[in-house]
Every structure is written in structure tokens, then in C-alpha cells.
Structure 1
């Protein structure tokens, strides 16, 4: 038996590389001779940079930027080994969940400014061809912070520049692009995202994902109003209407800012990563595929999500697929889970979840070992 292990990141718990390695360790603890291919994957969110750097033997670069709450941090971007002219920017490296603890969440102030700083650092190095991975963000600012970092000014009706408070955007009057980085128009951006949601509305950034970023129910209308005003002004300034535009809500609305101001082509996250990384070539001789993610729920089955993409590609080649998940929405329909041949859930109660979160790598190793031991006994 030859197994390929391609886990996505387990949000705030394990990177895709760590989760993939933990599953491999669990299997090898039962059978040290087992042939295993470790191939971490990502769908545009956390781990995308590492997946593309690993697959293409790329080079990491570093820049000092601001995290979502304005603290200075060291962040990474990369240049692929396939082309020394292709620069990979992962939003999560500067504006991701990993920087913000639950009690620190402040959607009014959480900003994508650091993502803009990463892009600017790459521009300063001479890069003009970009892969921009949008996902795993702690922000819901509509991309305003990123645009500010690149020189765009947000003005109220008196002509004064506005603060970074998201709700202040309800009073936005106009944009000033006099200092906006003109180098962007000489660039190409391949934008990859795990979701294709609109900027606004019931399926938009705020109503679908705002709660996970700290938007309280009573704040939702005000946040939506702020983004609606931002979308109105962007449309007036650029002619691009973001309100219902597919993908504009990705990354807390950063996808909309990118579509309005950057020369872009849009790609489904996992399809792009699997094809660019050579994942299909790695399937040679493989008899079983294992993937993984932190939580199995309705979002698992969106077209751009990592495990869904792995299962789709593997299924087309007739390979069985096992999914390891940290926890699961027990209301998930059986029809949807049929995309996987097996689903192994580590924790089915709150107590089990707490135990797994305290030592996630060990919990995943043990689950993988139990699964493979059962396989041997069949």
C-alpha cells in the first residue's frame, strides 16, 4: 500500500504541514515500512505559501509588517522555484487568524494593512507577477487597510483623511488615489480563494463569516452599512460594482478591493494549488489518499475547499479517500459526506474536543494509528 497524505491546515491549531506530518507519524508507528508521500495542501488560506514553496522549491522572503491589530510582526512571502518572477503573497501571513486571540477580536479595528505592506515590499524588490492567496483572515475591513498601505486615501465630506475604524466608513465621501502605488497597474495578480462569496448580503462577508471574526449580532447592520458605503464609493471611483460580485467577499472583502484596483485573474483555491504544485503527478503508484481539516461542516463541501478538491481529484482517478477531522457538524448530511470513502472524527463531545485541542498533534497521530491498525485487521 502506498498512501499520499494531503491535509489542509487545522485553523489556529496545526499548519497543513504539521497535520500531514502527524498523520504520517501515526501510520508509521503501526507500520514503519509503509510507503508514504507527505504532500501538504491549502486552498488559498493559511498554508498556501508553504504548499507552493515546498512544491516548487521556492525561496522565502521576509518583511516587517503590521498584524491585524497594528502590532509589528515578521511575515513571509515567497518566490516560486518555477519562475523567479512569480511572487506568492499569502494574506494569512500578515492578516490571519493566528495573530488574534479570541478575547482580542475587534472587527472595527482589525485591518488588512499588513497585507498591503507585504505587496509593497515585493514591489520594492521588483516583482510584478503575483499569486495572491486570500483566506484565513481575521479581518472584515473590505480590503480598506490593504489599499491604505498602498497609498489610497479615504476622505470624509470635509476632505479629511479618515481613521482606520471600520464603522467610520459609513461617512466615507470619496477616495484620493494621488499617492496610490502606480506600479500595481504593471502587475498581474492570480488571485486564489476558497470561497466565491459576494461583498454584501446574506451570503456576503459579514453575514457569513463576520461572527468568526468577532462581529456581534447587534453590530452586523452597522458593519454591513459601512461596507455598503465603501462599495458605493469604490463603484463611483472605479466603475466596478462589488456589492453582488462573486469573490468580492473573500478574505473579509479583500477580494473586492483586489478586483476593483488590481489587474486580476480569479482561480478556485484548491484547484489552482493542486495543479500548480504537481499534486496529480505525486499520485503515481498511490493506492489510498488521506486528507484532513479542523472541522467538518457545510463549508467542507464548497468547491474551493481543500479536502473537497482532494477528494474530487482522487475520485476521478478511482482512489479511495479518507478524511480526518478534528470535530464535525453532526447535522451534516450523509449525502454530502459520500464524497469521502471514510470520515474519521477525532472528537464528538466537548470533553473530547478539549482533550484534542490540548495536544492536537498527539490526538491526530493516535487517531491515524487506530485507523491503520483497523485497516490491517480487515
Structure 2
């Protein structure tokens, strides 16, 4: 029997790798000779680097970079064993937690540090870069990131703009002539977990700006600046990112990556599944066990359970989700390919009790699910 275990973490309780270990223990109690393939998953946010390294091996690379305010910081990314693929989490160098010690600077904060991580990966030979965006401290449309790769953002007099989203109000021209050939040859994918457009009432500044300390006046200023940015992008290459779903993610970073580098945005879990090799792991599987802390109606919206279930359905493999909480409706999940979902609770328990006992409860449930599917 071949069982693939591909869960997300149970936040506040178990990492994705811990969930895999517990589920594998249960599977082996049911079928000692089972072939168990562990593929820790994530949705493109926190934990994606560790999932990539656990599934693909490779190297965790730490480099010096700039935080959102330009201060030096050490940040890490993941490089595959063959050096051809990399996973970069924007929050590692450009995240809000890095600037919690100082007053917010929503107008001047930059994503340059993330660009430095990407540049290092490309210099080392990576030609397929997955950028996981989320938790950004900046609303600069990814201009800082792109600048660190060699793109120049110029005003009407030909001067380089200073860091930050507000400066984009003076943007007149984007010059990518200094972009290295190896960057141009790299495939960029963006793991995005929101569908907000770049500008407007649902855009990057309006929805996420206040979380980064922007006042109502600053939100309006940033939205106007991002509109100028989008207009210049459209005039330059015909790529319209103003209302592109997901373009507003991470302060508009997704829109900038799409508009300048032709990046491919997609739901985070689906991109992570490809990056960690889940499609190949599913070959010949008899059962797929997935899961996350809570499975409910929102799980169908691009989360790990839905991504794993969809891949399993394509291959005709039953997919079962194990979770701390299981709350209907499940109609959309079943349509996507999820066979069933079960809670690890073996009776009335508090949340703290479930968290404390998650590993043995998971193992016990995985054993029963495996027995049900064993040949």
C-alpha cells in the first residue's frame, strides 16, 4: 500500500512535518509494510521554506539584506539540491515584524531586501523562483524588489526615485535595460492568497495600508501613487495590472512582478504543491492523507486541503483530510476531490487539550482511516 501524507501545519500545535510524522505512525500501525511518502505542505505563507527543504532537500541560504527601512538584516531562502529552483518568502526580509521596533513608515517602506534574496538565488543558478508574498511592511508595488534586481524607476527628469510607495506618484519611466540576462531567463511564480486588485477601494493601499500604519490620507496618497505605477506599466508593455486579481497582494508586489517580469501568480497551495513535487509523489498512490488545523467551507478557497484533493482527484486517488476542527459545508471540497474529512477529537475536548494531544490523536485517526482503505 502506498500512502501519501501531504498536510499543512496545525498552527499553534504541529508543524507540517510533525503532522506527517504522526500520520505516518498511524499508517504503519495499520499496515506495517506500507510505503509512506511524506510531503509537508504550506499555502505559500509562513513555513513554505521548511516544506520545500523537507520535500526536495537542498540548502537553506542566509544572506545579508535590507529590512523595509533599509537597515541590515539576515534573511534566509531555500535553494534546491540541484540549485535550479528557489523559494523566497517576502516576509523574511520585508515583513512587518522586522519593523515593529520603530514607528511605521507606510510611505517609505521598501521591498528591496526581498529583491536582494532573489538576486542571490539567481546568481547561484536558480532559474525557477517561487516568491511567497504575505506579511509585507511595504506598499511600494514591488518597486524596491525590482530595483534590487536592476530595474530603475525614474521621474520626468530622469532621476531615480527614492524608496517607498509614495515616490511612485512621480514615476515617469521604467528602465529595465540593466536587468541581468540571467534574471530575464528566470521563471518567476508568485504564491498569492488574496484576490485584491492593485488599486481602488479593494486595492493594496485601501485594504492593507492601514495594517502597515497608513492613515486615511496616506492610503489615498499610496493608492494614487500605485495608479501612476500601473499606468506607466500599461503604457510601457501593455500589461494592465490595475484590476488584476491578486495584484494588490503584499502592497502591490504581485502587480509589479507580473507587470515587469511577467511573473505567474497563482493560489499559494497549488504553487507549493508543484514546488515540493507533490504531483510526482502521487503516482501510484492508494490513499492521500491531508489536513490542516480546521477544515470548513473556506478550505475550498485555495488552501492546502483543496489543492491536495484536486491533484488526488486527477489521479483517481481517495483523499482524506484530518483536522482539529471539521465544520460543514463540504460540498465544494467534495467536488474538488476530497473524499471525506474527520476531526481528531475523540470526544469532548477543549482547544488547549486538542493542541496538546494533537500528535497521538492524529496517529490514532490515521490508523483507522488507513484500515478502512487497506487492501
TM-score normalized by the length of structure 1: 0.73
Unmatched tracts of structure 1, length 5 or more: none
CA contact (8 A) 1:169 1:229 kept: no
Q: Which residue pairs with 2:110 in the alignment?
A: 111
**SS at structure 1 position matched to 2:278:** coil
Counterpart among 5, 8, 22 of residue 25 in structure 1: 22
Is 2:365 aligned against 1:365?
no
Say if 1:30 and 1:369, in contact at 8 Å, map to a contact too.
yes
**In 1, distance between residues paired with 2:200 and 2:260?**
22
Q: Which residue matches 1:56?
A: 56
Written as runs of structure 1 = structure 2, the 5 A alignment for 1:228-239 is 228-239=227-238
Give the conservation status (yes or no) of the 8 Å contact 1:65–1:118.
yes
Once the two structures are superposed, the pairs formed by residues 130-145 of structure 1 within 5 Å of their partners are: 130-139=128-137, 140-145=139-144
List per-residue Cα deviations over 1:74-120 (Å, max 9, x = no partner).
Answer: 32334433x54444434343334665669987644543211111122
5+ residue gaps, structure 2? none
Q: Secondary structure of the equivalent of 1:146?
A: helix
Distance in 2, matches of 1:298 and 1:224, equals: 32
C-alpha separation between the residues in 2 aligned to 1:63 and 1:90?
13
CA distance in structure 2 between the aligned counterparts of 1:171 and 1:276, rounded to whole angstroms: 36
1:172 matched to 2:170? The reply is yes
Equivalent in the alignment of 2:42:
42
Which residue number in structure 1 is paired with residue 185 of structure 2? 187
Structure 1 Cα separation of the partners of residues 126 and 38 of structure 2? 32
**CA RMSD of superposed structures (Å):** 4.4
Aligned equivalents of 1:373 and 1:306: distance in 2? 21
SS of corresponding position for 2:144: helix
What is the aligned partner in structure 1 of residue 146 from structure 2? 147
Superposition deviation, residue 337 in structure 1? 4.8
The residue aligned with 2:252 is: 253
Q: Which residue of 1 aligns with 2:319?
A: 320
Cα distance in structure 2, aligned partners of 1:296 and 1:251: 25
Q: Structure 1 187/157 Cα, relative in aligned 2: closer, same or farther at 3 Å? A: same
**8 Å CA contact 2:129, 2:188 repeated in 1:** yes
Q: Partners in 2 of 1:19 and 1:4 — Cα distance?
A: 13
C-alpha displacement at 1:310, in angstroms?
0.4
- 2:80 is aligned to 80
Inter-partner Cα distance in structure 2 for 1:188 and 1:249: 23
Deviation string 1:173-213 (CA, Å, 9 cap, x unpaired) is: 42463884344664222314244733234554445655666
Task: Give the CA deviation at 1:373.
Answer: 7.7
Matched length: 360
CA 1:370–1:10 in structure 2 vs 1: closer, same or farther (change >3 Å)? closer
Answer whether contact 1:191 1:267 (CA < 8 A) is retained: yes
- Counterparts in 2 of 1:297 and 1:231: CA distance versus 1, 3 Å: farther
Alignment of 1:144-293 (within 5 A): 144-154=143-153, 162-166=161-165, 168-169=166-167, 171-175=169-173, 177=175, 180-183=178-181, 186-195=184-193, 197=195, 198-201=197-200, 204-206=203-205, 220-265=219-264, 269-283=268-282, 286-293=285-292
Aligned-residue offset at 1:244: 1.8
Q: Distance in 1 between matches of 2:20 and 2:210?
A: 31
In 2: Cα distance, 1:98 partner to 1:288 partner: 39
